[in-house]
Structure 1
Amino acid sequence: NLKRLLPAIQRELREASGRRARLRAEARLNQLALYDLLTGLPNRQFFMELLNKALHRAQRAKRLVALLFLDLDRFKMVNDLLGHVAGDELLKSVAMRLKSVARASDTVARLSGDEFTIILEDVLSADSVARFSQKILQALTQGFKVSGRDFFITGSIGVALYPNDGTDMATLLKSADAAMYAAKEYTGTIRFYSPSINARTMEQLTLETGLRRALDQNEFVLHYQPVVEFVTRRIVSVEALLHWQHPDRGLLAPDSFIPLVEGSDLIVSIGEWVLRTACEQLRTWQATGFPELRMTVNVAPRQLTKQDFIKRLVRILRETGIKPACLELELTERTLIQGMEWVVPQLQALRDLGIQIDIDDFGAEYSSLNYLRRLPVTGLKIDRSFIRGITTNLEDASIAAMIISLAHSLNLKVIAEGVETLRQAAVLQNKGCAEMQGYYFSPPLPARTLTTLFITGNGIIATRV
């Protein structure tokens, strides 16, 4: 009897094995269709389904739902500098970090690239969402190991609440996206949606579209602000500041569009134009009778990550005939600290060429002696927020004095920016700061106007009392 049953048993086993294989294959296909292969988080398609269900539950229960859009700041730097394998490694680490902060009832998904989203159900108030969002940002700032290196990254979060900011999925998504776009203006921040953000977002998008045309249409212009040796009133250097001669809105100051430039791929081409134009202008001034004049140019993180940045810079110096020692590059504290591992070799290569490196807005961020000793920099620029209160606020005056003392102890030059009154300048001189910059001496000026000042004043700034 067993012999007669054996073929049937074997057939049943084969069919069972086939069913299990089909179930495994179906489960795998389901995984591929609904989850991101890299991070294991729900993908865009599955996220949309989950959001739709969350909104239906909230509608029935009359509860709040919070939708968070998270974008990693300067993530492209990782890909540019370390490659896509390192970028993928960072994304996986970020996904794990986000899941560790989220509750079991929250949904963490990856939409695309470096963009993540989180759905919070049964929200009690906007304050509770703000606290949760802050936890996310704090978790990111703890740093990551990427290809064996320590890497620090920040995120920008946009928040939209159901039903306040949208009663349907499309509107809520649009609101969260607009809020995130607003948050990225300052990086590392949280922005809740408000109706005014829509207008602001549209304005920014219009500006960004115009920026892509501006370089080709020669709409950019440099203005130059002198840095003055206070005792002699002699101009020792000038800082090149990018302005935009907009065809409809007139002359735009840097603050109104530079964040957009630095967040896009335009920074490389525009940054190179700034460097070349500034060096060409410096050559003109040096030939006019000011051979020791220095030129200061601000450099963005995206420029430094380009492997051929130094090669292009050397070519500009060679073609314009500018000595490397006459060029000063300014970088912010945030740039230096967040990319310490890759910034130091780049800066050292620049220093080996003889180019000077200054830390801009010093004191506004980290101001750690430990990191300062590791950086091959030549100067510190005291953040203007301390200069503003130096004659009225004891704390600001003390911080400014500490920065000046720190610079002297490390044999670094120190510059005070944002000097607007004689009293501020006198206090700074008394504390040992020799070089100053600000409207007390001169606002940023077009090259032609500053050339006249050089010639008529023999490089001396005539200040008012």
Structure 2
Amino acid sequence: MNGFLLKELALYRSERAARNASAEVRAIFEREHERICMRSDKLIACLMLLQWPGAVLASFLISPTTWVGGQSRIHPHVIAAIALGGLITILPVTLAIFAPGKIYTRHIIAACQMLMSGLLIHVTGGRIETHFHVFGSLAFLCFYLDWPVLITATLTTLVNHLAMGYYEPIAIFGTAAGSHGRMLEHVLWVVFCDTFMITSCVQTLRGLWVTSHREAEQDVLLYQAYHDALTGLGNRLLIQKKLSVLLDDPSRKGSRFALLSIDLDRFKEVNDTLGHQAGDALLIQVSTRLQGLLRKDDVLARMGGDEFALLIDDCQSQTVAESVAARMIGCITTPFDLGQHEARIGASIGICLHPQEGLEAKDLFHHADLALYKVKNSGRNSFLVFDEKMRAETTLQMSLEHNLRTAVHEQLMEVYYQPIVDAMGLVLGFEALLRWHDSVHGQVSPAQFIPIAERNGLIVPLGNWVLAQACAQAAEWRRQGNKLSKMSVNVSSAQLSHDKFVGVVLATLKETGLPPELLDLELTEGVMIENHGQTQQTLELLRKFGVRLSIDDFGTGYSSLSYLRELPVHTLKIDRAFVTDIEHSIEARTLVEGMIDMARSLNLRIVAEGVENRQQMDILIAAGCDQIQGFHISKAVPAEAAGRLMAVKEPTPERQSLAVWNIASADMPA
């Protein structure tokens, strides 16, 4: 998605947000106004139920009653109060019960209320005090905050007065006399009062609109506080709030649900390669896909960056959570269309179940993150459910990672040196090997801390530090008169792919004074073949400056003859896995002999590592192996002890047996 489309999308979202905000204000206004009207419907209907008996009572007390022929005759005003009053009252009461808040309900109620005022005036003979009932009715109708209702009430009053003969046009000019003139005056007062009340309603409506606008703004702010601006998903606050509701609600005590912690794999590569705009577009597409997998009550949130969380309500079993996680991984691994580019990513998911593995929100998040951490350390693009064993393993890994970061930054590690000898037992050089003794965990194996350093980006500064230490030590030994033909240093893929790696190597050689031909950089087959074109250019440049190159752990990787012919390497190091059984297995011995013959045909030197006894040593030398490295010679030792190993100048028959090296290194730390 290019920049123009993103700008258009942002503009569209801004306009849509403005429309949504306006719609929200109107919705709040109409909801509040409807609530007011419903309340007013019921209030005025109740008043009309009281007015009807009042009108009947007034007709009995005020209207005259006569007796004719011993029989009584009810005055017509009484009949009107009972019959018409009932008709006027029953309809609005019915509407207030069955259709409250409707527009037609309040207009009908307003008309009936004004008819009730006219009826009272009629049955009382137009007594002046009943005229004020009209004004009182208008005042009550103001409760609706709906000025068209007041218009309906006024028109109903005027029509009623015309029908009852209270109003004559001639009275406008003052020629009418008596009550008719007074009624005209009364009607004019009604109109004046009505105009005043309409103005008051309009002002009150404006106030209600302002209040609705303020409430809508608060709703928008509240929405923004609980939702992610980019994807529209909930955020950390929303999912925490939902968790609190589930955990604190007494009716949900012991309820089953699952919390999934989701992290996108390789998203950083997309973001760094294609730019942040493409990364944002990718996140939007990911959120859309994930939302399509959810039920109504599930809550998906973006926690920040490329991290998401999912709360699955009413999750009855671990199988349900695992099924959801598998579907999520499946939809995310499908390629994403980013305009001119196609992005392929994955997802790692950690799952925590309630109430099995957590009773508090912080525990649920922590356990889900621990499971996620375990997934990412185990190869990614998968899911795991948290258990207590995982807690111990992950806690150890996190502690090691924290302490390793401190050790790298404060240079608390040591470089040990394992000798490499020729067939005569003469020390040719050393391989620099990193050792770490942690104050908490004791001696930590490189097999533990090297993968951690590779994951968290520490491997580059750590590898450069080892390179500097090894070159400085080799240069120091040369100044002391000790002759050695090489110092081997392992190089990681992260170092080799760094654009400044060649400069770092050359600068280190210049600073330490070590000749380039004495530095032997060891790289695995996988490191060399990964991003082959760029790697080959880097290796060719290093070889041009005189640095020697070796393939480490040969035979465990690609083992492609075409790559061996193309790459500018000098040495092959046979992995210890092939050396272990050569004294017992004909197949293993044949395989090693084949590797040696192949290396010789390519004019490469051969180093066998992992040699642990005399028999292995003799077989390798007989097969034509050039150099030997392993515990049979010596373990990796500190620089001071390594210096003593170089003190032997002329190998003797006894020294050729290499037993002297074991004796010499017996007092040296491993």
Q: Aligned residues, how many?
A: 438
Q: 1:440 offset after TM fit, Å?
A: 1.6
Residue matched to 1:237: 429
Percentage identity across paired residues of the two chains: 31
State yes or no: 1:85 paired with 2:284.
no
Question: What is the one-letter code of the residue matched to 1:232?
Answer: M
CA contact (8 A) 2:370 2:394 kept: yes
Q: 1:195 offset after TM fit, Å?
A: 1.7
For 1:399-422, what per-residue CA distance to the aligned partner results, in whole angstroms no more than 9, with x for missing partners? 545544554444433333222223
Which structure's relative contact order is higher, taking Cα pairs within 8 Å and 6+ residues apart?
1
How many Å separate the matches in 2 of 1:148 and 1:236? 55
State yes or no: 1:223 paired with 2:406.
no
C-alpha change, 1:175 and 1:221, in structure 2 (3 Å) is same
CA contact (8 A) 2:263 2:349 kept: yes
For 1:365-394, what per-residue CA distance to the aligned partner results, in whole angstroms no more than 9, with x for missing partners? 444445555544433333333333444456
How many Å separate the matches in 1 of 2:576 and 2:232? 44
Structure number with higher strand proportion: 1
C-alpha change, 1:404 and 1:174, in structure 2 (3 Å) is farther
Deviates most, 402-411 or 302-311: 402-411
How many Å separate the matches in 1 of 2:285 and 2:401? 33
C-alpha change, 1:49 and 1:247, in structure 2 (3 Å) is closer
- SS of residue paired to 1:209: helix
State yes or no: 1:181 paired with 2:373.
yes
Superposition pairs of residues 386-465 of structure 1, within 5 angstroms: 386-392=578-584, 396-397=588-589, 400-401=592-593, 403-456=595-648, 463-464=658-659
- SS of residue paired to 2:540: helix
Q: 1:444 offset after TM fit, Å?
A: 0.4
How many Å separate the matches in 1 of 2:338 and 2:617? 45
C-alpha change, 1:392 and 1:463, in structure 2 (3 Å) is same
What are the ranges of 5 or more consecutive residues in structure 2 without an aligned counterpart? 1-14, 25-219, 663-670
Superposition pairs of residues 321-400 of structure 1, within 5 angstroms: 321-369=513-561, 371-373=563-565, 375-392=567-584, 396-397=588-589, 400=592
Q: 1:225 offset after TM fit, Å?
A: 0.8
Larger gyration radius, structure 1 or structure 2: 2
How many Å separate the matches in 2 of 1:149 and 1:408? 46
State yes or no: 1:270 paired with 2:466.
no
C-alpha change, 1:334 and 1:33, in structure 2 (3 Å) is farther
CA contact (8 A) 1:154 1:187 kept: no
Question: What is the one-letter code of the residue matched to 1:222?
Answer: V
How many Å separate the matches in 1 of 2:605 and 2:499? 29
Question: What is the one-letter code of the residue matched to 2:386?
Answer: Y
Deviates most, 119-128 or 276-285: 119-128
Out of 193, 211, 220, which is 2:404 matched to? 211
Question: What is the one-letter code of the residue matched to 2:400?
Answer: L
How many Å separate the matches in 1 of 2:547 and 2:337? 31
State yes or no: 1:195 paired with 2:192.
no
How many Å separate the matches in 2 of 1:192 and 1:119? 14
- SS of residue paired to 2:514: coil
State yes or no: 1:280 paired with 2:277.
no
CA contact (8 A) 1:282 1:293 kept: no
What are the ranges of 5 or more consecutive residues in structure 1 without an aligned counterpart? 1-17
How many Å separate the matches in 2 of 1:301 and 1:36? 38
How many Å separate the matches in 2 of 1:377 and 1:143? 38
Residue matched to 2:507: 315
CA contact (8 A) 2:239 2:311 kept: no
CA contact (8 A) 1:41 1:108 kept: no
CA contact (8 A) 2:329 2:381 kept: no
- SS of residue paired to 1:419: coil
For 1:423-443, what per-residue CA distance to the aligned partner results, in whole angstroms no more than 9, with x for missing partners? 333444455433232112111
C-alpha change, 1:236 and 1:456, in structure 2 (3 Å) is closer
Residue matched to 1:22: 19
Structure number with higher helix proportion: 2
CA contact (8 A) 1:358 1:380 kept: yes
C-alpha change, 1:114 and 1:20, in structure 2 (3 Å) is closer
For 1:109-141, what per-residue CA distance to the aligned partner results, in whole angstroms no more than 9, with x for missing partners? 86544556688997976799599869969x97x
C-alpha change, 1:396 and 1:133, in structure 2 (3 Å) is farther
- SS of residue paired to 1:455: coil
For 1:74-106, what per-residue CA distance to the aligned partner results, in whole angstroms no more than 9, with x for missing partners? x77x59xx9553687689779989999999459
- SS of residue paired to 2:456: coil
CA RMSD, 1 decimal? 5.2
C-alpha change, 1:246 and 1:21, in structure 2 (3 Å) is closer
How many Å separate the matches in 2 of 1:110 and 1:406? 55
Question: What is the one-letter code of the residue matched to 2:414?
Answer: V
C-alpha change, 1:61 and 1:273, in structure 2 (3 Å) is closer
C-alpha change, 1:116 and 1:101, in structure 2 (3 Å) is closer
C-alpha change, 1:236 and 1:186, in structure 2 (3 Å) is farther
Deviates most, 179-188 or 292-301: 179-188
CA contact (8 A) 2:576 2:609 kept: yes
How many Å separate the matches in 1 of 2:416 and 2:348? 31
For 1:132-156, what per-residue CA distance to the aligned partner results, in whole angstroms no more than 9, with x for missing partners? 869969x97x999999999999986
Deviates most, 247-256 or 278-287: 247-256
